[in-house]
Structure 1
Amino acid sequence: MCGSDMFQTKKLWIFHLFGWLLFISLPLTILSRERDPELEFTLLSSGYFWLFFLIYFLLFYLNLWILIPRFFLKQRPILYTGFFFIGITAVLFSQPFENLIFRRFHHQQQILPTNRFPELPSENFHPEFAPPPSPERTAPAVDFVSLVLFVMVWIVSMAIRISEQWRLSEKKVITSEADKAQAELSFFKAQINPHFLFNTLNNIYSLAVSQSEHTAPSILKLSGMMRYITEEAMENDVPLEDEITCLENYIDLQKLRMNAKTRVEFTFTGNGQQTRIAPLILMTFVENAFKYGISNHHESTIAIRVEHTQHTVSFFCRNTIFDFNKENNRIGVGIANTRKRLDFLYPQRHELHMDNDGKVFTVNLKLMSDEMHSH
């Protein structure tokens, strides 16, 4: 059991304990006007009181653990409603509060006739002036206290069970979203590998044919990047330094296919050795910049900046849009998936702003602490 589940369970049992303590205090509150100063001790030490408590205790957990899961949550409302009316009918006839608490612990103030009328001589006594006898208390037609307690116990148990079911459903949704995000990450890796690999190998081949001195370093960078994508990026988080190295290798390899008209500005400030980040979370934006921001006929600049501070990682990317055959307002599947990953991995801890005016595409991303913790 994870820490969050243990905390939720502990909090739930504290809630149960508090609820039953409140329930126990109700009879004491109702009988609070009694003259007996030891009423609380007498009530709590009585077997009748604990029998009364046990009845509602069993009703509560019968509904919580058996009736709701087997009937209400299984879409069998008629049977569930039937059990509710059976319970309320049983309470109506048995009157647990009246029979087990009120009759046994309620002391009516007896008013003697002598206190109201002085004794009259027998010769002057007339029956019509005699005080009426104290009537015997009869059980009420409806034990409203028992009925209210029954409905309250029933509703509270339903509320607890439904909220717990909602929490489990929410947890399943989160797990499903995590699996989906992981699947999308795997899909992204599968997409970037062939596309990037084929272009880079062609460029390296051209370098080899021309016997360029950049051939061996380019092969080494490609090997390091492929190792990172296929091995390290399978983890939930990676050192920021490794993510930056991957970006640098990607940029250097992309430069192999660029001419002098395209300039790339990449800067990284900060210390990424002890900070961790979700793998390939920045790569999609960089790949997008090189996909749309390179022209063989026009000068352009691709600006990429990563800044790391104690609590944030800030990413900036800007490129000119040259591929007019594409829909300029279309962000693309890769960026859409990255949005989902950010929502899942950095909930309430990231800011993403993208601007596309048809000529220039700009990305500003800020990732905030928690996920970027020091080790």
Structure 2
Amino acid sequence: MSNSLFSYQGATPDALLFFKYLLIELGYALIFMSCFYGSYLFIAPQFFVRKKYFVGLVATVLCLGFIIALRYTLEYGFFLPVLGFDNYRGNIWPAKRYISNIVFYYFPGYFMYGMAYFFAENWYCNSRRHQELQKEKLATELAFLRSQVNPHFLFNTINDIYALTYQKSDMAPEALLKLSVMLRYMLREGNEDFMPLNREVEYLENAIALQRIGAKGQAYINFTQEGYIGEQPVASLLFIAFVENAFKHGVWNDPEHPVGIYLHADNLGVIFNVRNRKNNGLKDSTGGIGLSNVQRRLQLIYPDRHRLTVKDEAGFYEVNLILKQN
């Protein structure tokens, strides 16, 4: 700093001189910080958040007035009389030049820094808030969709078990145990977004077993599994909607045309297929709660990693789902 060198010309470098330099630098840093934080805390929010432009102009004028007063107080009330530092080499600037120097030299740079920092912080906070809201919305929507996966199947199963109990059938305890396992899975483990594939398969096997029990052995269902059925994660309670749809809208008591359920899994992904003969007395469509929900869940959880195709033929209905690994 040439001016400071002029003010301290001939002074012996020592701890006292170092301390004076330190105080001077801190004083000017205080001025710069006042420009920055005045812009960041008081001016930018008025213009760009609250949209109070008049208040923003007033805040700008007040900030400028404070910085002018602060600089004048530091330079003429502390630096010169206490530290012997003369920033103007014995000259006294007129008020017009003094103010214009602050307005056009000190203020603009740090004013823009404060504005830029406000914009960056505001954008970052809004972006994080938006992401958190999206995650919260997604979690809420998934929980809602999952809660509606298979109420019809459960209600029908409870009625079947009641009938078995009323008839004092030996199959009633087994059916009740399987239903208990399924409910435990739905209410506890099924609340997770993803579950191991083998647990989902076990859930399907129990659902099929309950369907057979309720049909008194007249349900013809072929469940074929191929590949590795292990711990690979899949969306919880995803496949049951397709199976429930086949039970609800299809013919499952025809031995010549059994309900066909096929699952193949490997390191590339999972293929799941359900084919059933259509019940002429019922309309088989994807408009039910279960299938509309599973389609929405696929869009949310596997946005670019799934393919769902539906074949609605004259006598048969078939759903084929492909899930790709990450």
TM-score by length of 2: 0.65
Aligned residue for 2:283, secondary structure, equals: coil
Structure 1's 57 and 71: CA in aligned 2 closer, same or farther, altered over 3 A?
Answer: closer
- The answer on whether the counterparts of 1:261 and 1:299 sit within 8 Å (CA) in structure 2 is no
Counterpart of 1:146?
107
Structure 1 CA distance for aligned equivalents of residues 272 and 192 of structure 2: 21
Counterpart of 1:51?
30
- For residue 283 of structure 1, report the CA deviation from its aligned partner: 0.9
The amino acid across from 1:354 in the alignment is T
Alignment of 1:20-31 (within 5 A): none
Number of residues of Structure 1 aligned to a counterpart in Structure 2: 283
- For residue 159 of structure 1, report the CA deviation from its aligned partner: 4.2
- The answer on whether the counterparts of 1:267 and 1:306 sit within 8 Å (CA) in structure 2 is yes
- The answer on whether the counterparts of 1:305 and 1:316 sit within 8 Å (CA) in structure 2 is yes
Structure 1 CA distance for aligned equivalents of residues 265 and 42 of structure 2: 54
Does residue 306 (structure 1) correspond to residue 267 (structure 2)? The answer is: no
Larger RCO: 1 or 2 (CA < 8 Å, sep 6+): 2
- The answer on whether the counterparts of 1:355 and 1:363 sit within 8 Å (CA) in structure 2 is yes
Q: Structure 1: which 5+ runs fail to align?
A: 1-41, 107-137, 370-375
Counterpart of 1:338?
294
Structure 1 CA distance for aligned equivalents of residues 146 and 319 of structure 2: 23
- For residue 238 of structure 1, report the CA deviation from its aligned partner: 3.5
Structure 1's 161 and 197: CA in aligned 2 closer, same or farther, altered over 3 A?
Answer: same
Structure 1's 182 and 308: CA in aligned 2 closer, same or farther, altered over 3 A?
Answer: same
Alignment of 1:150-165 (within 5 A): 150-151=111-112, 153-165=114-126
Structure 2 CA distance for aligned equivalents of residues 269 and 347 of structure 1: 22
The amino acid across from 2:136 in the alignment is T
Aligned residue for 1:317, secondary structure, equals: strand
Does residue 366 (structure 1) correspond to residue 323 (structure 2)? The answer is: yes
Does residue 253 (structure 1) correspond to residue 214 (structure 2)? The answer is: no
Structure 2 CA distance for aligned equivalents of residues 205 and 264 of structure 1: 24
- For residue 250 of structure 1, report the CA deviation from its aligned partner: 1.1
Counterpart of 2:141?
180
Does residue 355 (structure 1) correspond to residue 310 (structure 2)? The answer is: yes
Structure 1 CA distance for aligned equivalents of residues 27 and 129 of structure 2: 39
Structure 1's 268 and 219: CA in aligned 2 closer, same or farther, altered over 3 A?
Answer: same
Structure 2 CA distance for aligned equivalents of residues 199 and 273 of structure 1: 32
The amino acid across from 1:51 in the alignment is L
Aligned residue for 2:251, secondary structure, equals: coil
Structure 2 CA distance for aligned equivalents of residues 341 and 218 of structure 1: 29
- CA offset digits 1:90-111 (Å, max 9, x no partner): 5767689x999xxx999xxxxx
Aligned residue for 1:331, secondary structure, equals: coil
- CA offset digits 1:299-343 (Å, max 9, x no partner): 534222222323533322233332554363x43222222233344
The amino acid across from 2:260 in the alignment is A
The amino acid across from 1:178 in the alignment is A
TM-score by length of 1: 0.58
- For residue 268 of structure 1, report the CA deviation from its aligned partner: 2.1
Structure 1's 256 and 281: CA in aligned 2 closer, same or farther, altered over 3 A?
Answer: same
Structure 2 CA distance for aligned equivalents of residues 165 and 358 of structure 1: 50
- For residue 366 of structure 1, report the CA deviation from its aligned partner: 0.6
Structure 1's 53 and 311: CA in aligned 2 closer, same or farther, altered over 3 A?
Answer: farther
- For residue 353 of structure 1, report the CA deviation from its aligned partner: 0.9
The amino acid across from 1:182 in the alignment is A
- For residue 237 of structure 1, report the CA deviation from its aligned partner: 4.0
Structure 1's 217 and 342: CA in aligned 2 closer, same or farther, altered over 3 A?
Answer: same
- The answer on whether the counterparts of 1:261 and 1:300 sit within 8 Å (CA) in structure 2 is no
- CA offset digits 1:220-245 (Å, max 9, x no partner): 43443344334432444443222211
Counterpart of 2:249?
292
- CA offset digits 1:174-208 (Å, max 9, x no partner): 21331232233234465542233224544x469x6
Structure 1 CA distance for aligned equivalents of residues 147 and 87 of structure 2: 71
- The answer on whether the counterparts of 1:272 and 1:308 sit within 8 Å (CA) in structure 2 is yes
- For residue 150 of structure 1, report the CA deviation from its aligned partner: 1.9
Structure 1's 95 and 304: CA in aligned 2 closer, same or farther, altered over 3 A?
Answer: farther
Q: Among 173, 190, 199, which residue is 1:233 paired with?
A: 190
Structure 2 CA distance for aligned equivalents of residues 248 and 343 of structure 1: 26
Structure 1 CA distance for aligned equivalents of residues 273 and 150 of structure 2: 22
Structure 1 CA distance for aligned equivalents of residues 253 and 116 of structure 2: 72
Q: Among 61, 65, 77, which residue is 2:51 paired with?
A: 77
Aligned residue for 1:315, secondary structure, equals: strand
Counterpart of 1:168?
129
Does residue 89 (structure 1) correspond to residue 61 (structure 2)? The answer is: yes
- CA offset digits 1:130-175 (Å, max 9, x no partner): xxxxxxxx67686177336424532440342144124214312421
Structure 1 CA distance for aligned equivalents of residues 63 and 175 of structure 2: 83
The percentage of counterpart residues that share the same residue type is 22
